[in-house]
């Protein structure tokens, strides 16, 4: 199927894409979906969503107030956006080679979610070193059994209450591997965070981002964050906790980073930096 221009899937319409289907989308074209969307391939017959032209890209598939299920799909050089929707992506590969991921000061995310439920399982994401990986705000977020390579801020949660980041691999991010801003009740467990340029795990908030700091729900810190059983190796900073944020950590291996653990005050309005309750962590050779 060829999508030569922007198309809109109306409310009360349900789309089914069958195994083995290939969808080709024109450069800068966007599929906007107000109805329910089901792209369900199989392991032997995955669905492919690709640019029409080689070495090109498409804008995005944008879900608005709908149910979206993506399973066994290969996506190249296009983004996934979700707003007020329940989004499930499983057994899917997303590769960014040619899509512009730095537009002025803006860094688009390969997967962006705003409100709703976001469930990502067995995702393989290969970036081109620019933009961001997953950026989820005000949603219930579960990210598990997935792999992220060469993607800045591979997993970023903003104002998320109830989140799970479990059993993922993040390697060679040009920025942070996992970045939490103004979050609460998030569990970060059994991840491998290796050779990332800045932080393996960064927990705090972002005063410089008006989107975060001027929202009425802004708490000014992250709290009740659990960091358990992770391997945090070869990063600039293994674990950073900032600006009155509170973290409980246990059974992590934090080694071969430039700095193992850094607790500090980033914004001048705070009287207290980060607080870490560490139990049975192995912090050595940093």
Specify the pLDDT at position 210.
62
| Per-residue model confidence (pLDDT) at position 269 | 77
What pTM was estimated for this model as a whole? 0.94
Going from the first residue of the chain to its last (286 residues), give the mean pLDDT of each consecutive group of 10, the final group possibly shorter: 96 96 96 97 98 95 97 98 97 96 88 96 97 95 98 95 97 97 95 98 78 64 95 98 94 98 87 93 97
Decide if 98 contacts 126 (C-beta within 8 A): no
- For residue 209, the model assigns a pLDDT of 62
């Amino acid at each position: 199927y060829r999508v030569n221009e922007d198309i809109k899937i109306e409310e009360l319409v349900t789309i089914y894409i069958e195994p083995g289907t290939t969808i080709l989308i024109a450069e800068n074209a966007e599929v906007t979906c107000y109805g329910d969307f089901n792209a369900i391939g199989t392991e032997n017959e995955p669905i492919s969503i690709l640019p029409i032209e080689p070495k090109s890209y498409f804008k995005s598939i944008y879900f608005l107030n709908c149910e979206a299920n993506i399973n066994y799909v290969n996506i190249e050089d296009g983004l996934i956006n979700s707003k007020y929707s329940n989004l499930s992506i499983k057994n899917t590969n997303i590769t960014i080679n040619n899509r512009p991921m730095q537009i002025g000061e803006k860094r688009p995310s390969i997967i962006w979610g705003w409100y709703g439920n976001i469930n990502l399982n067995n995702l393989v994401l290969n970036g081109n070193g620019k933009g961001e990986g997953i950026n989820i705000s005000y949603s219930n977020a579960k990210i598990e059994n997935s792999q992220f390579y060469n993607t800045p801020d591979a997993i970023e949660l903003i104002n998320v209450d109830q989140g799970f980041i479990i059993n993922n691999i993040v390697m060679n991010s040009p920025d942070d591997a996992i970045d939490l801003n103004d979050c609460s009740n998030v569990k970060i467990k059994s991840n491998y965070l290796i050779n990332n340029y800045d932080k393996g795990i960064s927990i705090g908030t972002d005063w410089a981002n008006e989107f975060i700091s001027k929202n009425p729900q802004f708490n000014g810190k992250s709290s009740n964050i659990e960091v358990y059983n992770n391997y945090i190796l070869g990063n600039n900073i293994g674990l950073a906790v900032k600006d009155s944020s509170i973290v409980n950590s246990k059974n992590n291996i934090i080694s071969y980073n430039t700095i193992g653990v850094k607790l500090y005050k980033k914004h001048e309005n705070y009287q207290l930096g980060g607080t870490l309750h560490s139990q049975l962590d192995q912090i050595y050779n940093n």
